[in-house]
Amino acid sequence: MQLAKVVGTIVSTQKDQHLMGCKLMIIKKIDENGEYEKYSSNSTAIAVDTVGAGIGETVIVTQGSTARFVYGNKTTPMDMTIVGIVDEIQTSAPEVQKTL
Amino acid sequence: MQLAKVVGTIVSTQKDQHLMGCKLMIIKKIDENGEYEKYSSNSTAIAVDTVGAGIGETVIVTQGSTARFVYGNKTTPMDMTIVGIVDEIQTSAPEVQKTL
Amino acid sequence: MQLAKVVGTIVSTQKDQHLMGCKLMIIKKIDENGEYEKYSSNSTAIAVDTVGAGIGETVIVTQGSTARFVYGNKTTPMDMTIVGIVDEIQTSAPEVQKTL
Amino acid sequence: MQLAKVVGTIVSTQKDQHLMGCKLMIIKKIDENGEYEKYSSNSTAIAVDTVGAGIGETVIVTQGSTARFVYGNKTTPMDMTIVGIVDEIQTSAPEVQKTL
Amino acid sequence: MQLAKVVGTIVSTQKDQHLMGCKLMIIKKIDENGEYEKYSSNSTAIAVDTVGAGIGETVIVTQGSTARFVYGNKTTPMDMTIVGIVDEIQTSAPEVQKTL
């Protein structure tokens, strides 16, 4: 999955009927420090929100055919879904407790 | 899905028979400000139009096996489809209305 | 799909038996002006030709599991297929005829 | 598969219910010398750990629909899984023993 | 498929049981002149060898769900397979014989 930040929403009236009612968010990939990954493919993308994410939030994004399984409708032409909101990123290893 | 701009059309007479009648558009990925994403993979690509998009329009593009589901023909060798036309991009969070 | 230019052919005697008889071409991705996309992922790749493309020609390339559907053999380990030859690229919007 | 290094863990309470109980790790792609691949797509990503990997370890990561097969649950919206821990990378060809 | 060069092998004892016995090779993508493609996504990757490739050899690599079909085991969590060894790359068009 990808680590991303929600930066906007899409308004689209003329679209595939299976996308009606889907909340389309613009996401940008970030690294573990919250920096944008400008060299990454799909550094900006559109994902369907399924967890109630808002602009500015850090999210977990699933791509590919897997993305359709979240929404429950296998014929919806979506290939990217927001599947979680990130509360915290822990980048240092926990203290290893030495047991004597 | 990808945020992209339609920049051209493809004329091809010698092609897989399942692509006959498909409207092939050249798209370029853009970010939320409309700037081209030159470092993105597939920054230029060919997508089958299913929503009546024209050159210069900002569109939503679905990739992968998912793309075939829009067209209704699972044997067509397409892997990228235009599934919506973007009316507006909202990049700032809406004012949160405080209800007393 | 991708816009690409055929730049070479592969000679391989030791390969998966399902690839025997497949014409393997080296392709390089190009943009709408014919310039190589050096930052694109898979900027150089190998595609199976199904339309009779030759070195120097501009082609349409389909990727992923979709690629296998062109060849008719779902067990062939190919993930990229040339599905069309490009005659012309039109990058300017047609003159809109104003009907009075 | 990808060669990657585990650099962190994700804490997420609001997520798709099928991801409950999954150990979500932040990984960064590396090359054969352990250097980060900053130009690679998905240079930073989130993978579900299935082999007990810890922060700082070098791992093997599988992507796409294939990733779901490791976990045994085809409806979990995951597209990246840690499937192995790397003990050693051998980058020089072994001495070819000349047998007379 | 991708054009790549085998640069190393992976030793991993702790891995998904379906990968036991698989020969894991580190590959790096190259272009038609044998130069590494440093900007390509997955410029360094791990592929399962099925054709007896060795370090230093130029190979054909298949990605995605397609990769599993070579090995015959659809539940093995692999997404990249070496499916052929390249003998020769021909980058110039053959002399067109003019028949009178």
Are the Cβ atoms of E32 and C7 closer than 8 angstroms?
Answer: yes
pLDDT digits (tens, 9 = 90+) for B45-91: 999 999 999 999 999 999 887 767 666 666 788 889 999 999 999 98
Q: Are C4 and C34 in contact (CB under 8 A)?
A: no
Tokens 């991303």 belong to A4
Confidence of residue C44 (pLDDT cuts 50, 70, 90): very high
Query: Can you tell me which residue has the tokens 């072994």?
Result: D94
Kindly report the nearest CA distance between residue E18 and chain D, in angstroms. Answer: 9
Q: How confident is the model at residue D92 (pLDDT cuts 50, 70, 90)?
A: confident
Q: Looking at residue C97, what is its pLDDT?
A: 45
pLDDT value of position B99: 45
| Angstrom distance (rounded) from CA C12 to CA C25 | 11
CA nearest C9 in E: which residue? E90
Give me C55's structure tokens. 């070195």
The subunits that touch chain A, with at least 3 C-beta pairs less than 8 Å apart, are B, D
Q: Distance (Å, rounded) from C-alpha A63 to C-alpha D93?
A: 37
pLDDT in tens, C13-36: 999 988 998 999 999 999 999 999
Cα–Cα distance between D60 and D6 in angstroms, integer? 10
Low-confidence ranges of chain E (pLDDT < 50): 96-100
- In the three-class reduction of DSSP (H, G, I as helix; E, B as strand; rest coil), residue C67 is classed as helix
| Neighbouring-strand partners of residue A81 | A48, A62
Best mean pLDDT range from A27-36, B35-44, B60-69: A27-36
Q: Which tens digit of pLDDT belongs to each residue from D4-26?
A: 999 999 999 999 988 998 999 99
Q: What structural domains does chain D harbor?
A: 2-85 (2.40.50.220)
Contact B79 C32 (CB under 8 A): no
Identify the helix (H) or strand (E) that includes residue E70.
Answer: helix E66-71
Mutation target for B interface from A2, A5, A7: give the one with most B CBs within 10 A: A7
C-alpha to C-alpha distance for A93 and E42, rounded to whole angstroms: 27
How many other C-beta atoms can be found within 10 angstroms of the C-beta atom of residue D21? 7
Alpha carbon of B86: minimum distance to chain A alpha carbons (Å) = 5
Q: What is the mean pLDDT of chain A?
A: 86
Residue in chain B nearest C73 by alpha carbon = B75
Contact D3 E45 (CB under 8 A): yes
Residue B16 has its nearest CB partner, among C31, C84, C94, at C84
Query: Which residues pair with residue E11 across a beta bridge?
Result: D88
Residues of A in contact with B92 (CB under 8 A): 8, 55
pLDDT classification of C37: cutoffs 50, 70, 90:
confident
- Return the minimum-mean-pLDDT range out of B38-42, D95-99, E42-46: D95-99
Mean pLDDT for the stretch of residues C44-69: 90
Among A10, A24, A1, A3, which Cα is nearest to A77's? A24
Best of A86, A87, A91, A92 to substitute, by most chain D Cβ atoms within 10 angstroms, is A86
> Is the pLDDT score of C56 beyond 80?
yes
Preferred mutation among D58, D86, D92, D95 to probe E, highest tally of E CBs within 10 A: D86
Q: What is the pLDDT of residue C45?
A: 95
Cβ neighbours, 10 Å, residue C90: 14
The tokens describing D35, both together, are: 């250097």
Q: Residues of chain D whose C-beta is under 8 A from some C-beta in A?
A: 7-16, 18-19, 24, 26, 28, 38-47, 54-56, 64-65, 67-68, 74-80
Give me the pLDDT at residue B98, please: 45
Backbone angles phi, psi at D28, to 5 degrees: -130, 135
List, in sequence order, every beta strand (DSSP E) within A12-94.
Answer: 24-29, 44-49, 58-63, 80-85, 88-90
Neighbouring subunits of C (3+ Cβ pairs under 8 A): B, E
CB atoms near residue C59 (< 10 Å): 27
